Structure 1
Amino acid sequence: MSVIRLPIDIKSLYFNIKNDNETGHTATVATPLKQGSSIHEELAQIRNIPENINSYSRDSLISQILSKSRAAAIITDVFVFESISVNGTSVECESRFCIYIREETDPQNFHFGRQKVHYPPTLKFSDSDIDINNRKVIDAISESLCNYAFIVEAFEYDTESKNLNFDVTIVGENGIPYSKIFLNKRGVGNKFSSVFNEFADTYDSEIISLREHLGYENVSPENYMEIINRNKSVAVNRICSELNNSGFGGIRKLAEEYPYSLYDVEYSDRGKKKFVIIRFTSTKTNYFSLPYNKIKFCNDFADSVKIALVTDVNGIPNVHWYAIEDLNKMNKTINSITYTNGGEHS
């Protein structure tokens, strides 16, 4: 099997993310291929993919695309895909997905000669031979991901099966604010990790063990979250090491990139993405808390998610793995309930 991987701009194709900015910040739905003398070498591999469209339909599609263009341009390449998958799992959709390359041709335009790879969800075209509807394909992908917020990071074309795989990262619940996803991609790091940290309520359960391990004078409410964040890094590294030793690939510490992701680590298992939610405790007790959104995520992706609990994280760490069926058998305590008076909570 030979796969052509086409990475795209991280902010160019994302869905189910709420724009909480006053203006702008919409998906660009395109990635530069050629600007001046600069060529995106990886993305340029797209020209090794067959177009999979007849000449009559191709000409009609190009005419439709260019009829809406505000600048002089040509469409140099058109690629149509019938077989679609997301993160290695097949997606059923009657419509096809289309990607094309657009080149600026006005010598007076500052961007003369620039080429971009476009994949707009609004693209829709049909004739007696072909039915292209990018929105329907995206909707089918979203549905297969239980409509969670996701970012498309790359397209992957299998030269044998002719399948186009959407390599996506699930970054939160449907409607998660844009600012929570993308601000940390501009060099500000985990700026909000202490503001919205889900481990803040573990103080009572952890404080005695933490002080026994680290010294009674070294742990206090003031530095508790700093210690917890440090312990989380230890737990994440331990899990990644264990996955690596088990022969899994594609290991990624998502928690370091997106602090509000519903899972902490992802890895590849026989071509399909798997997810790990990591819990940790300084004690030797097998206990952990999960917020409702992560419980729901576990149920929605029951075959792909596991909980990894690292106990004695400040001593001799020990890893315990749990699947969703294990969680359902465990004793549970409800710590909080949200009450709303007068309609839905928003």
Structure 2
Amino acid sequence: MTQIKGYLVAAAALSTLPLAANAEDVMPKFTISAGYSHALAVDRDVNRQSDDGMGFFVGVGVPVARYLDVEFSAYHHGYGDDAPSRPLEWKENGAQADFNFVFSRNRLFSPYVGIGGGFAKNKIDNASPKVDDSTGFFDAGLGFKSYPLKSTVVGLTFDARYRWTKSDDLRNKGWVGDKRMEDVVLRAGLVVPFGLPAAPVAAPQVAEVAPPPPPATEPKQPTLAAERRFTDVLFAFDHSDLSTKAQGDLDSAVQTINELSNQYPNLRVKVDGHTDWIGTDGYNQGLGERRANTVKSYLVRKGVSADRIDTNSYGESKPVASNETAEGRQLNRRAEVRTTDGK
């Protein structure tokens, strides 16, 4: 029991470590993990006729929200002999599903707490009578993932969980002395992320461009003058509020928009919201909409008619820079503002 407490204290201490400064966020579409699994029998000294279980696990994790993952895994444990009078061939195979509540998507240290459950099949072929028991269990614990390589092609995963297993058949046949078994299950292995987008060709940031001067011998073309693209409004990660700089950029745009509105009665203002690739498609679609609506509300407060403004969200579908770097993701967290003649 003292050894088990030591493992749990160490795992809890790891989950409270400060996040590395300037580390990037990582949120793949899904992950595949595999590694070593060790079941420490909490009740071994009292009523368990076996040593610890040792084996392996494989798992698939899916981020379903900004701070929530669902992980499905399968495992195998072989238990050693703790009863010299009867040699033991105890094998356990199981599958489980867990909900992991993620504190941070930090690339170097992404801690979480989790709860879940599953089913296990315990077989002792050389027992008399033979044991072939299918049982259900619940678990709760904590862990973390880390991608120390900047390319994030592979990472590390560690997980510690307390497991409660119903064990009527094992109890009835004398292998455990209670209706349930209690274990601390430790897992350590490698995790491979999938769904990280290929780096798109970076497009230059488009600055506000003044309309070309009219030809000396021709009248001014209103449709050309009405077409404007303003400085992109940039946002912080997972935010839709405006920074001081963004408000200043919009103030400059408002002045031009109001001047154009006087000249072109049918002027339209287009506001398109965008995100980086971190998060699900649905979440990013909504985040892009919130960013576009924030810009629209600010323009209206500054005097632009709400009837002139059209908003749209492209989510993560139209990056202007590489999502593989922090700098590129910053450029992709944006709202684009432009004007057109609505005739």
Name the larger-Rg structure. 2
TM-score by length of 1: 0.25
More strand by share: 2
Q: TM-score, normalised by structure 2?
A: 0.25
